[in-house]
């Protein structure tokens, strides 16, 4: 069974074609700069073909049409015809409170995803548009599945997901904490429980997904009980260009002082803050690590803030769960930066955390235990695409029964 996994971002469309017989990635690629001039599709196949084609994409519809063309013709061709695609799994940013798990896509599901546009303005509309383009190109007979970034966090209790603002705004506008990166938090936490045989026992796990966007979640007995991102992916940790949590008064203070419109304020918090805003140098964690080694003070400050905040989340989530059995690192920074992991874990011996320095520095690119204390610390490379593909197969197989 060949599954096409689609991850539509605000101006990009990433894809993977996976053969689920052996979970082998046949081809993958990305359509970039959708809606902006200078569009580009990059495409790689398992036979080693690498393509980079300039091609303007006015919208996600044209990008989807182009990726179908690249999969079925020319140098990067990997299938004869779209009929070889058994089903499509779509990543969806926001499922509101409606979608608590992955779901077969119907017209109503697409309408719902579109209707949550206020909760995910940059993602939900292009994701709904991509589903419609996919239906058009592949036909109604090819099943599609929506896998939501928010659904894993739907098990949080209300004391964790409510904000202390008038209750009517929750009722009127669904304002509450939703959490994101749910597919990654689900994969990493459940994979850890599987490989360590803790699946059916009691477990208190903190998952640190640290990349350009970063979030942390507390997972008790396999269920999410709290997470750092909120109504939108702006909340929680300081990130590449996002501020993370700030005192809400800063927003009105700056709007008054600088005369920002709501959109301009939004851009400051989402695009000009975080590592970039603090360092004045780069949004990329690796650049900051290198610059701080050369004595760049604000690059070091950005790294220090990030690591300190993560340390505090681990402590607070251990308190929320009544203890801690494991801390799991994933994402570009979580998987690759031994320095960040060492500094985050330093001083957490009182929680039973003790890193094995040699293991922490050894790069395996695989699941890897890096601790020697009572509380386990692991690197578990995330695999969101494979999780989406597995959910798709599971739902499609149920359909056939
Ligand atoms: P995204 O959130 O876009 O999926 P990734 O999970 O790929 O991002 O993470 C990208 C981040 O990981 C970048 O900030 C990059 O600098 C950082 N990163 C990758 N390798 C290292 C490393 N060896 N040391 C520190 N940071 C790293």
**DSSP string covering 162-213, please?**
--SS-HHHHHHH--S---S-HHHHHHHHHHHHHHTT-TTS--EEEEEEESSS
Q: What is the pTM of this model?
A: 0.94
Active-site residue among 81, 107, 112, 149? 149
CA atoms within 13 A on the CB side of 245: 15
Query: 261 CB contacts (<8 Å, ≥6 apart)?
Result: none
Q: What is the pLDDT of residue 4?
A: 98
Q: Is the CB of 333 under 6 A from ligand 1?
A: yes
- Which protein residue's CA is at the shortest distance from atom 19 of ligand 1? 332
Catalytic site includes residue 149 = yes
Round to whole Å and give the CA distance between 79 and 182.
31
In 3D space, the residue among 306, 351, 321 whose CA is nearest the CA of residue 205 turns out to be: 321
Angle CA 345–160–307, to nearest 5: 20
CA of 244 to the centre of ligand 1 (A): 17
**Residue written as token pair 């992955």:** 102
Q: Is the CB of 270 under 6 A from ligand 1?
A: no
What is the enclosing helix (H) or strand (E) of 363? Answer: none
Residues of the chain with pLDDT under 50: none
- Which protein residue's CA is at the shortest distance from atom 3 of ligand 1? 212
Round to whole Å and give the CA distance between 294 and 297.
9
Q: What is the pLDDT of residue 10?
A: 84
End-to-end CA distance of the chain: 16
Backbone angles phi, psi at 296, to 5 degrees: -75, 110
């Amino acid at each position: 069974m060949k599954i096409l996994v689609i991850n539509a971002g605000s101006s990009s469309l990433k894809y993977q074609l996976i053969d689920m017989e052996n979970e082998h990635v046949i081809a993958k690629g990305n359509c970039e700069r959708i809606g902006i001039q200078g569009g580009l599709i990059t495409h790689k196949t398992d036979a080693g073909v690498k393509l980079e084609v300039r091609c303007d994409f006015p919208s996600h519809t044209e990008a989807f049409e182009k990726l179908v063309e690249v999969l079925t013709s020319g140098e990067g061709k990997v299938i004869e015809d779209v009929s070889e695609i058994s089903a499509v799994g779509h990543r969806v940013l926001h499922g509101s409170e409606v979608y608590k798990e992955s779901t077969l896509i119907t017209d109503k599901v697409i309408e719902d995803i579109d209707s949550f546009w206020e909760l995910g303005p940059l993602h939900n509309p292009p994701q709904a548009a991509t589903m419609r383009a996919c239906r058009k190109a592949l036909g109604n007979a090819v099943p599609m599945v929506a896998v939501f970034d928010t659904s894993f966090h739907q098990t949080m209790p209300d004391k964790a997901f409510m904000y202390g603002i008038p209750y009517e705004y929750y009722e009127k506008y669904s304002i509450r904490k939703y959490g994101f990166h749910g597919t990654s938090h689900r994969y990493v936490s459940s994979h850890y429980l599987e490989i360590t045989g803790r699946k059916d026992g009691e477990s208190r796990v903190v998952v640190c997904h640290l990349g350009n966007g970063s979030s942390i979640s507390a997972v008790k007995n396999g269920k999410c009980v709290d997470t750092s991102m909120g109504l939108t992916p702006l909340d929680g940790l300081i990130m590449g260009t996002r501020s993370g949590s700030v005192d809400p008064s800063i927003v009105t203070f700056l709007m008054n002082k600088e005369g920002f419109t709501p959109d301009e304020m939004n851009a400051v918090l989402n695009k000009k803050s975080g590592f970039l805003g603090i360092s004045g140098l780069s949004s990329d964690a690796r650049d900051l690590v290198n610059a701080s080694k050369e004595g760049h003070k604000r690059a070091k400050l950005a790294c220090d803030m990030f690591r300190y905040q993560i340390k505090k989340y681990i402590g607070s989530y251990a308190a929320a769960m009544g203890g801690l059995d494991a801390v799991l690192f994933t994402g570009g920074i979580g998987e690759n930066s031994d320095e960040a992991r060492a500094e985050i874990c330093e001083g957490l011996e009182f929680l039973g955390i003790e890193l094995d320095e040699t293991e922490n520095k050894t790069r395996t690119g695989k699941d890897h235990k890096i601790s020697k204390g009572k509380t386990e610390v692991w690197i578990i490379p995330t695999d969101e695409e494979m999780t989406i593909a597995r959910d798709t197969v599971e739902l499609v197989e149920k359909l056939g029964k």
